[in-house]
Amino acid sequence: MPSKKNEGKKLISNNKKAWHDYFIEEELEVGISLAGTEVKSIRMGKCSIKEAYVQVTANGELIIEGMNITPYEKGNIFNKDPLRTKKLLAHKKEINKLLGQSKEKGYTIVPLEVYFKQGKVKLLIGLGRGKKLYDKRDSIAKRDMKREAEREFRVSMK
């Protein structure tokens, strides 16, 4: 049974590297301003946010740069540049809160997931604090220990 948080949500792309490189303190779901052919391309799963980053512009708008949406194969002249900057849709209050927190030392706004929710493309962004090398090693060690424990549990169940 799906949880309330994931209800009606179809994941398109996620950014595993963000979880590896940052401690994610807060998450915010925002919309993306897209063209029609970009939405069709995302429906086909042709979207990547691995190299993307989120910025707040001088006039207080959120934008995402480096998000790659492969051009729709049947879009011909209506296709847009795959790496163009896209405006993110959020309330002014939320943007100001993110901006204030991102100005603190070591905080950055990173894209985490792209998904469809009730027929609309949504982006989950997170406020992250960068991990040091020893933090990354620690999280890798914890993940390996968890994997080993699950493997041993499965073997003992048989």
Q: Which domains does the chain have, with CATH numbers?
A: 9-130 (2.40.280.10)
How would DSSP label each residue in 11-55?
EEEE-HHHHHHEEEEEEEEEEE---HHHHHHHHTT-EE-TT-EEE
**What is the rounded average pLDDT of the residues 30-56?**
82
pLDDT per residue over 4-14, tens digit each?
566 678 888 88
When mean pLDDT is compared over 78-82, 88-92, 95-99, the highest value belongs to 88-92
pLDDT per residue over 123-154, tens digit each?
898 888 877 777 778 888 888 888 888 888 77
pLDDT per residue over 49-88, tens digit each?
888 888 888 888 888 888 888 777 776 766 666 677 888 8
Helices (H) and strands (E) in the chain, counts: 4, 9
Name which of 46, 55, 118 is nearest 88 in CA terms.
Answer: 55
